[in-house]
Structure 1
Amino acid sequence: MPAFAFPVGYFYEPIAGVFAISPVILFSFRALLLRGPVRVYLFCAMLACFAILVFISATGFTTQRYEVDFLPLLLLTSLVSFGVLFTERTQLARALLVTMFCALALYSITANMALGIAGPYDSILENRPTNYIRLASWFSPVEHFRPMLNPTIRVGMTVRFEEQNDGFREPLLAMGGQAHRYLLYAEQQGNKIRLHSHFHYATVSADLSSARNTPIRLQVRYDPQAHRMTILEGEQILLGQDIPLLVTAPSQVKTGVNVAEPGLAAPLFTGSIDTFEHTIIADGTRATQ
């Protein structure tokens, strides 16, 4: 990952791809091995499908939005290819093919239903976070990856900065990865460092009293009762920010990494971070330390 900040307004748009949400279309490539008139028709359908895909890809920023323009045609080719393949096989081979097809179809239905429930812009997490947390807990057997609503968080770290150009911004601590996420990042200004606490569309900033070329001890605290994030330099409170709703899994509380806000800071911290405390507590149970 590059050690520089992306342009302001740059953002990631999550893309799964057609094979991830509809693996049944893999049967379409079987059409290339068929014989007779059916091969010509299926080949033309696949050619039209890929022509549409290339055209959409060339426009930029729209490929994932117009999958419906080429995916149904590719799915039709897959179904016909599967039907031809099915008629050419023995009874045992047919049973195996049907089992494989049903498994892929069931996976496709489940994956698309999950994407539909979550919404393309994390709508259920944004508007009904409690329901989202409950649904996510059903499919998150590993506690380290299970999202939590307003957990108690305590992170302590000793930070050493590498000299960069004035205005260079790099991440110190990230929490969450979708809606209701948080990012603490630093901006270099000469020999000084300015910290920015960012949540949603609000940012609170303060200058560190320590010089850039010295190790800096920082502590980050999130109090779910007060709904407030507090950053301490040494033992002194540097800044605080009200955060009414924080959603994060223990695995998403990361130091020196920024994947959620590429327009605010570089993807990686260029110096070194030594963590001396990393505690996340949900409902009175320590999730990680």
Structure 2
Amino acid sequence: MTKGSTEFLDTFKTFIKIDAQFWGVSLAKGSGFVGWLESRCIMLLVDLNRRLPTIYPRIWPARFVNEDVSEDETDYQGYYLIGLDKWEGSNEQPMTRDDMKTALASLRAALQKFEGQIRGDEKYFDPNTSWMSASLVNRSELGALRLDNREWGEYTVGDDDFDEEDEEEDEMLDSEDDDHSNSDTPTGKSKSKKKTTIASHPARPSYSGKFRSSADVINRIRWDPSMDSGDYIVGYEDRFLGTKERALDTWKSEQTDEEFIPQHRILYFKRKSDGVIVWDRKERRDTIFGSGVSSNNPR
């Protein structure tokens, strides 16, 4: 446990506990499931703020696990925790019993909605190999916890071929190939090219753990209280101007935003304060989560 995570657990008396379980084998599916679940937690925070504006929810940007769980355990179970408290400086009167019942009903409704959103996504949630639930608990109910540093699942042949961002990039490239192809070009050209690329895929580098995506890095920097998002820059590929940089705080993640840039164009993340590149797509290097092939050798 880090000092920050210990203080987090000691600060709040009430938590939302998001229980995640995975009993499959594939590292791509296990890591994909928990990574996507982490990224979706922002929806729950937004919904809580809308339903209960006087409540202060704070999520810890890492997964917890029971202290007695072995590092070699292959039936994976962990918890994401959101601490709940009243906003500081709130001038509202203490809640009556009826107010408390209303607040609890709103909380439970938000949790049920979140569960439905997660379990209803067929791309990432497979009830045959995974499960999740969200509940309201007291600190005493959590027991002894530690941070979970395991990669969920084991590497199997083909895992790299199903990397979420690689798929997105392949689809983008296939679409561009189709748009620029001649009318007499066989429609299966781009698909054949993709299959050839997969067939000649080089051996997986000798590192443990799936390389974390740019979306994971953005969420971690934005929500980890020990990191200053204002100190980070996003390096990305502009279709016409080449490599460009933008402050992470101004990065738009919603596709409906006019300034939206697909995340597969992100090349690296860099700290302003010392110029160190903390995540590099090309070199598969990540010092934010410690994934990748050379995470111990930052620039």
Greater strand share, structure number: 1
- Normalising TM by the smaller chain, what interval? under 0.3
In the superposition, the TM-score normalised over structure 1's length comes to 0.20
- Structure 1 or 2, whichever has the larger Rg, is 1
In the superposition, the TM-score normalised over structure 2's length comes to 0.19
